[in-house]
Amino acid sequence: MLEPTWPDNLRVLERGWLSSNNILLMPPEGEAGSAVLIDSGHSAHAEQTQALLAHALQGRTLGRLVNTHLHSDHCGGNALLQHHHDLTTAVPASQLTAVQRWDREALSYAATGQRCDAFRAEEPLFTGETMQWAGQSWTSLAAPGHDPHALMLWRDDVGVLVAGDALWENGFGVVFPELEGVGAFDEVAQVLDLIETLPVRWVIPGHGAAFTDVAGALQRARRRLAAHRAAPHRHARHAAKVLVKYHLMEELRQDVQTLLDWAETTPLLHSCQARAQEPGTPREFAERLLLELLEAGALRREGQVILDV
């Protein structure tokens, strides 16, 4: 079966797991106008993002930066891009005030123990709003679950869905509200149902390559969701490992005691431990997670130093 034609004037800068994909909307060839970037990756990769973007823009100006949600892997490059480009930044409307006063608690960076350079935002994105960006019509769709404020972006004329972390080719992002005792698995299910109602030809996920097998991805996501619902303690334990691995992706290398100190003082890891019904102190829990990540080959140890791999 032939894949649908990839739409003109839409470019995906595929990244990894520390940095989300960057989606560049370009004005039609020969027409005036500035480009729009959706999501900017992590602050640790901000210089690389700027270099990739400078090449992809081909002399065009970047006039708008849009964030699907405000986890540090999706908006960490905002500050540097704002330094280099004269642009407007749009974020989910429910978080605009938190950005403008740079409230690290409300933006989750304090709870997760993650880094994100402070940036500004001027424009709220409301659910159901249709925007004209770079000569293209995009509609914002609510996508709570992974993050209560998250949005997906839908371009109906070509069937392209920018899904953020609501749907990957194999699953979806950690359901963060559940880690703090706020039910959100039903919201994940509702978002998957919404995606199924759309005539999607291409999904651009927050991480990984764009894909066309939407039915297969939805089937896999629903299986994962069923497993999480059946054993929420396992979801919480998995999330704790994700937080530790993500921290090492940020740091690249860290001595064991500093890593354990970070884990011991990271509030969301405490929540994960409680939800996972894990015994012992937070430090003991972190030691067990670290051992399992080392045994799985997700991290590597050299003496008293832990390295990302």
Structural domains present in the chain: 10-230 (3.60.15.10), 234-308 (1.10.10)
- Which pLDDT score is estimated for 211? 98
User: How many CB atoms lie under 10 A from the CB of residue 92?
Assistant: 26
Question: What are 92-113's pLDDT values in tens digits?
Answer: 999 999 999 999 999 999 999 9
- Which pLDDT score is estimated for 1? 59
Average pLDDT, the chain: 97
- Which pLDDT score is estimated for 32? 82
Q: How far apart are CA 156 and CA 136, in angstroms?
A: 10
Name which of 27-36, 55-64, 188-197 the model is least confident about. 27-36
Question: What are 115-141's pLDDT values in tens digits?
Answer: 999 999 999 999 999 999 999 999 999
Q: How far apart are CA 210 and CA 202, in angstroms?
A: 7
pTM summary value:
0.96
